[in-house]
Amino acid sequence: MKPVSDKNQGNASPGLRFGILCNSTEFQKWQADAIHELLAHGHQPVLLILDGREPNKKSKKPLIRRCLEPHLLFRILQNRFFFPPAKQAADLSSVLDGADTLTCYVETRKKAEYFMEEEAAAIKTYNLDFILRFGFNILRGSILQVARYGIWSFHHDDEMKYRGGPPGFWEIFRGDPVSGAILQKITEQLDAGIVLYKGYLKTMLHSYQGNVEQLLTVTSTWPAWVADELLRNPETVFLPSDTKAAIHKVPGNIHMILFLFKLFFNRIRFHYRDLLSSEIWNVGLIKKPIGEVVFGEGKLRSSDITWLRQFASTKYLADPFGFFENKKLHILVEDYSYQKQQANISEIIYDTRRDSFSVPIILIEGEKHLSYPYIVEHQQMVYCVPESYRSRSIDLYHRNYSEEAFVKDRVLVPDVEAIDPTLFFYQDRWWLFFTLRKYSTAQLYIYYADSIIGVYKPHPRNPVKTDVRSSRPGGTPFIHDGNLYRPAQDCSVTYGGHVVINKVKCLTPDEFEEVPVTTVYPIKKSSFSRGLHTLSGVGPYTLIDGKHYRINLFFFINQIRDKLQKRTPVNV
């Protein structure tokens, strides 16, 4: 699915001029995607800098000596079993036909490569804004200074933990729940350059091929993002990494044997959870405002929460949001049935005087999956913005008081598979935060409008954030001590693990910055202590949800059916 395009964002000026360090016009697919994205954003490929050295020929060592090579097992498995689709060959000869070519020969000194001074000078005459490195190896010397914004290179690991390589490997080997990646401006320090963009994804501990695939695919959009940023503001300051991490190397045969054992057991655990461990969520009420829940003294205790009664073993309730009507608290929830594989929006009424809850009654029912019934109150009206990604739109419903129902009002954003859309008013504008289905826990998007009914415009920095630990919305943003805070889900260890509270330092039509300041964890010693992914404030009350796991026959049958039909289920 191609999201609503943010290309060029109305930029009238021409794009940046760039060169590409490469071996030929044949690239890996993810590299070709990065070049296509740059072209789509209006940036101009001016020069191909080709490596003039002959490619390494196959070893002529005797078979016995080759079998004793220390990295043989990794190389065999990487090429035959761990080869992701993102590395398939893609020919860009027709796309790059208008670019000049310059064949260069480098000198190798202590594993680093140096361009001849005359070749570096020739490249400099092209007045390039940046050079994208998809060829050559560790670069040093004057070549690093020939482009205005330097040479850009990917490092598909978190450079604060893993310098060197191979990409996405050591995270699985060490059981790290998060895999990082950076796009950097190369300096003299290996994998410790100036960080242009950085992101974090959940490590696919059960699949090395899958982990590398997601790292390559997600990062392919980053050069265009950075180029757009520099086009808008040429004086943008990027900071160098201060990493002191050890440099990792290609794993030896012993490491690979251990790695394969870990991968095997990780896969067993993954498929067990995927097939048999169904999530059962429930909704809880806390008689404290959200600011006190988040920043109050002491941790939440199980006695602080009133959990709703569970009405069926094959259903769950999640994503609570609420509003007051006739002095009663109306709680809207996702009401999901494993048996029907269907989620509707149900309403539960909390009588504050009697301290009692009604049974869930379906309020918004559709043919498509509905969840996350986000509530907005504006000018004495109550609105609901449920997640309806299968309808490929973000829809606004309004409260019909006479019928005590919600009626679809309009489409706010069409043609988008939005997850957990969160709408709120801040500093004279309406802001709409969400993630997209493809990377539903990692990449945050922002749209904004002058009116609640739109028209909504994409933020020029979309995706404004790539971080599985704090991107996906997880409840109602709120003001505390004059500052805006945004709850977000941390899905690094498990989906809906806990809620991170981000302090929004800057939110304008051109800028966005937030930092995590605290965390609300699942409530220990409660019946639902295995996860928490929604935290919403309703006046003097706070609504949360929590989960536990249960073996469920309908869940098992649904998962088998999805696998046979090759469908990818999306978490609630």
Q: Concatenated DSSP letters for 157-188?
A: S-TTT-EE-STTTHHHHTT-SEEEEEEEE--S
Closest CA to 445 of 457, 462, 429: 462
Classify the C-alpha dihedral 200-294-483-445 as positive or negative: positive
Q: Given 239, 271, 303, which residue is the final one in a domain?
A: 271
pLDDT of 9 strictly over 60: no
Q: What are the residues whose beta carbons fall under 8 Å from the beta carbon of 50, sequence distance 6 or more?
A: 22, 23, 24, 101, 102, 103, 104, 135
**Is residue 489 a part of any domain in this protein?**
yes
Q: Which tens digit of pLDDT belongs to each residue from 240-267?
A: 999 999 999 999 999 999 999 999 999 9
pLDDT of 10 strictly over 70: no
Q: How confident is the model at residue 1 (pLDDT cuts 50, 70, 90)?
A: very low
482 in the same domain as 360: yes
> How many other CB atoms are found less than 10 A from the CB of residue 222?
22
295 in the same domain as 214: no
**Is residue 471 a part of any domain in this protein?**
yes
465 in the same domain as 317: yes
Q: Which tens digit of pLDDT belongs to each residue from 89-121?
A: 999 999 999 999 999 999 999 889 999 999 999
pLDDT of 60 strictly over 80: no
**Is residue 220 a part of any domain in this protein?**
yes
pLDDT at 404: 84
* Phi (first) and psi of residue 293, to 5 degrees: -60, -40
Structure tokens at 259: 């790695």
**Is residue 438 a part of any domain in this protein?**
yes
pLDDT at 433: 98
pLDDT at 57: 56
3-state helix, strand, coil split of the chain in percent (to 5) is 20, 40, 40
pLDDT at 454: 83
Distance CA 535, CA 520 (A): 9
Q: What is the DSSP letter of 256?
A: H
371 in the same domain as 308: yes
Whole-model pTM over 0.75: yes
Which of residues 11 and 363 earns the better pLDDT score?
A: 363
516 in the same domain as 429: yes
Q: How confident is the model at residue 12 (pLDDT cuts 50, 70, 90)?
A: very low
Q: How confident is the model at residue 512 (pLDDT cuts 50, 70, 90)?
A: very high
371 in the same domain as 287: yes
**Is residue 251 a part of any domain in this protein?**
yes
Q: What are the residues whose beta carbons fall under 8 Å from the beta carbon of 352, sequence distance 6 or more?
A: 327, 328, 329
pLDDT of 515 strictly over 70: yes
Q: Given 271, 289, 316, which residue is the final one in a domain?
A: 271
Mean pLDDT, residues 527-534 taken together: 94
Q: Give the whole-number percent of the chain exceeding pLDDT 70.
A: 94
Question: Of the given ranges (125-129, 181-185, 367-371, 418-422), which has the lowest mean pLDDT?
Answer: 367-371
Distance CA 45, CA 35 (A): 8
328 in the same domain as 233: no
Where is 545: in which H helix or E strand?
Answer: strand 541-550
pLDDT of 8 strictly over 50: no
Q: What are the residues whose beta carbons fall under 8 Å from the beta carbon of 366, sequence distance 6 or more?
A: 344, 388, 391
pLDDT of 472 strictly over 60: yes
Do residues 472 and 419 lie in contact, with contact meaning Cβ atoms separated by under 8 Å?
yes
Give the CATH number, domain containing residue 329.
Answer: 2.115.10.20
pLDDT of 7 strictly over 50: no
Q: What is the DSSP letter of 531?
A: -
Q: Given 237, 271, 305, which residue is the final one in a domain?
A: 271
**Is residue 340 a part of any domain in this protein?**
yes
267 in the same domain as 182: yes
386 in the same domain as 260: no
Distance CA 351, CA 330 (A): 9
Residue range of the domain that includes 479:
277-564
Task: Indicate the burial class of 470 (C-beta count within 10 angstroms; 0-12, 13-18, 19 or more).
Answer: buried
Q: How many domains does the chain have?
A: 2
Q: How confident is the model at residue 239 (pLDDT cuts 50, 70, 90)?
A: very high
Q: How many helices (H) and strands (E) does the chain have?
A: 10, 36
Where is 302: in which H helix or E strand?
Answer: none
pLDDT of 336 strictly over 80: yes
pLDDT at 61: 62
**Is residue 6 a part of any domain in this protein?**
no
pLDDT of 571 strictly over 80: no
Rounded-to-10 torsion of CA 474, 476, 480, 486: 40
Residue-averaged pLDDT of the chain: 91
- Identity of residue 67: C
Strand 130-133 and strand 151-155: the pairing is parallel
Where is 329: in which H helix or E strand?
Answer: strand 328-337
Question: Of the given ranges (2-16, 249-263, 367-381, 546-560), which has the lowest mean pLDDT?
Answer: 2-16
pLDDT of 551 strictly over 90: no
Give the CATH number, domain containing residue 223.
Answer: 3.40.50.170
Distance CA 84, CA 28 (A): 10
pLDDT at 508: 97
pLDDT of 140 strictly over 50: yes
290 in the same domain as 223: no
Distance CA 447, CA 435 (A): 11
Q: 3-state class of 276 per DSSP?
A: helix
120 in the same domain as 233: yes
Q: How far is CA 129 from CA 44, 79, 126, 230, in A?
A: 10, 35, 9, 10
Which of residues 276 and 304 earns the better pLDDT score?
A: 304
pLDDT at 566: 67
Where are any strands of DSSP class E within 87-177? 89-91, 100-104, 106-109, 112-115, 130-133, 139-140, 151-155, 163-164
Q: Give the whole-number percent of the chain exceeding pLDDT 90.
A: 78
pLDDT at 191: 86
**Is residue 7 a part of any domain in this protein?**
no
Distance CA 139, CA 111 (A): 9
> How many other CB atoms are found less than 10 A from the CB of residue 246?
10
Q: Which tens digit of pLDDT belongs to each residue from 186-199?
A: 999 888 899 999 99
261 in the same domain as 368: no
